[in-house]
A and B are shown apart, each in its own frame.
Chain A
């Protein structure tokens, strides 16, 4: 009996690389579902506030308001919750409905499964967070003097999303109530404890994301004296968080009990 057939370069191209195949399927799965209602609500709130700030405040303060919007709503709510909704779903849904077996019992490395899942969650989080960030930038920079905010918003948002996605992907694999635990982390740890204690803040994705954002922005007059780590250190820390979380997820993905 033939075992699967031999793969050639041409056949691989026609069949698609497995990581890409899983990425595409995961993306399609994440594009549906009720979680989008919450994402749309979060995006709408962010945009509504941007519109209010753009129309109700003095033009001279628009750039400051854009920083505040990112600092007070984008960082603590938009990024983590959008990432939480998609990342816990990316693997957690398959653990929950026991379809993960259709990936883990295929001739693929664990890393390729996890990278595909992370990629799908990250891309969709990026899309769902960059749109309100770009629109708010446009609204608050139309009449104001541009202050180089767009790269900071997009890169800060992207790097923060990567950190959150990696952590929440792991959470989705390990915990049945990953959404709840993740929300508690965002609200209780990052929102309350880390905002009161600098040492606790060092154990939060938000702190380092803000460091990257602030480092790219380089406008201390907008930053209200908030402490933030050196941008390079923040970037390296977030990179390490992403790599460690993905490594751990890959290590566990084939050992997850599908009850």
Chain B
């Protein structure tokens, strides 16, 4: 998967109005309110080709953001641009965007193939039948292509939704919970499809609450909390910026009690406990800790077998951000 590196912290457009090079989706100072309820508040970000995951708890503003990005909603304030163009009232832009909506419903009177060909015709593709066939093949639905959508399971409907978003080979693909209902094997296959699109230069924006899957698809994230952008960029780099959060590390070594006694003397240690065959440590100074551990283990006559970070996962970063 190719990722175009973009700013790893939320972009302050007021201070830096220029859009980063290569950005395909840009929101600047976007707010959206419904009556007196604020759904999004002054959100600005820019993302480029590659897979980006949009994360956030329920009610954080993810769906509102996706709707703004696909022109289904008009921002109350601010500017939304996709591929350099305004989205609202710009149907021509839909030729370059694919959307997998959250809702499950499809036309029950159509077959999967019929629906895909219908979509291809609305995109005015030169060969709708071939485009439908290709999209059905991508989501592994060719064997049921001529069955009515009314009888499809949730997972099959989900794949049809993905196929209709891919049928015109969009440059920007926006997916709202695309893997819900898919079984584990299908999830892996679909993630492979998104990866391939990203590798081919497309921008893939995925809203999902299944963090383990998001993590497997890439490291670029947008985190929304209470209608505001809490973080943007590579989640590992975001973790690095969280200086107020101690690092949790597990040290695997021989003679753990002896090593632990030495480790507890290090500056920045917040908590230390023996955990099975290893030592679990919370430290405010991960760099100094990493340098000191091999030396302390050697001094204690213990063989060091491993050091692993316990909170560099996306889930940990996400938990820290939304807490």
A4 vs B91: C-alpha distance when bound (angstroms): 14
Which of A97, A104, A110 is B105 in contact with, Cβ under 8 Å?
A97
Provide 23 A-B residue pairs closer than 8 Å at the C-beta atoms, listed in order of the A residue: A1-B200, A1-B201, A3-B95, A4-B125, A4-B168, A5-B125, A14-B127, A15-B128, A16-B121, A25-B110, A29-B107, A97-B105, A98-B103, A98-B105, A101-B101, A101-B103, A102-B107, A106-B94, A107-B91, A107-B95, A254-B89, A254-B91, A258-B103
How far in angstroms is the closest Cβ of chain B from A109? 6
Q: Mask for A222-259, Cβ within 8 A of B = 1, else 0?
A: 00000000000000000000000000000000110010
For B96, the chain A residues whose CB sits under 8 A away are 3-4
For B93, the chain A residues whose CB sits under 8 A away are 107
Task: Check A197 for interface membership: any CB of B closer than 8 A.
Answer: no
- Taking a contact as CB atoms under 8 Å apart, the answer to whether A107 and B109 are in contact is no
- Taking a contact as CB atoms under 8 Å apart, the answer to whether B170 and A3 are in contact is yes
For B121, the chain A residues whose CB sits under 8 A away are 15-16, 18, 21
- Taking a contact as CB atoms under 8 Å apart, the answer to whether A107 and B171 are in contact is no
How far in angstroms is the closest Cβ of chain A from B267? 51
Q: Mask for B90-113, Cβ within 8 A of A = 1, else 0?
A: 011111110101010111011000
A108 vs B91: C-alpha distance when bound (angstroms): 6
- Taking a contact as CB atoms under 8 Å apart, the answer to whether A11 and B127 are in contact is yes
For A16, the chain B residues whose CB sits under 8 A away are 121
Q: Is the interface of B mostly helix, strand, loop or mixed?
A: loop
How far in angstroms is the closest Cβ of chain A from B25? 15
Task: Check A99 for interface membership: any CB of B closer than 8 A.
Answer: yes
- Taking a contact as CB atoms under 8 Å apart, the answer to whether B169 and A15 are in contact is no
Task: Check A134 for interface membership: any CB of B closer than 8 A.
Answer: no
Q: Is the interface of A mostly helix, strand, loop or mixed?
A: loop
Name which residue of chain B comes closest to A10, CB basis.
B126
Apart from A1-B170, A21-B122, what 17 extra A-B contacts exist at CB < 8 Å? Answer: A1-B197, A3-B170, A4-B123, A7-B126, A8-B126, A15-B126, A18-B122, A32-B109, A101-B103, A105-B71, A106-B119, A107-B93, A107-B124, A109-B91, A110-B91, A254-B71, A258-B72
A16 vs B123: C-alpha distance when bound (angstroms): 10
For B89, the chain A residues whose CB sits under 8 A away are 254
Near A by CB (< 8 A), chain B positions 61-88 give: 70-72, 74
Near B by CB (< 8 A), chain A positions 152-185 give: none
A110 vs B88: C-alpha distance when bound (angstroms): 13
Task: Check B13 for interface membership: any CB of A closer than 8 A.
Answer: no
A8 vs B126: C-alpha distance when bound (angstroms): 7
Task: Check B259 for interface membership: any CB of A closer than 8 A.
Answer: no
Most buried by B among A3, A101, A108: A3
A46 vs B169: C-alpha distance when bound (angstroms): 52
Task: Check A77 for interface membership: any CB of B closer than 8 A.
Answer: no
Task: Check B120 for interface membership: any CB of A closer than 8 A.
Answer: yes
Near A by CB (< 8 A), chain B positions 12-62 give: none
- Taking a contact as CB atoms under 8 Å apart, the answer to whether A101 and B99 are in contact is yes
Name which residue of chain B comes closest to A22, CB basis.
B122
Which of B72, B122, B168 is A103 in contact with, Cβ under 8 Å?
B122
A76 vs B222: C-alpha distance when bound (angstroms): 58
For B70, the chain A residues whose CB sits under 8 A away are 105
Name which residue of chain A comes closest to B202, CB basis.
A1
Near B by CB (< 8 A), chain A positions 1-58 give: 1-8, 11-12, 14-16, 18, 21-22, 25, 28-29, 32
For A25, the chain B residues whose CB sits under 8 A away are 107, 110, 118
- Taking a contact as CB atoms under 8 Å apart, the answer to whether B105 and A1 are in contact is no
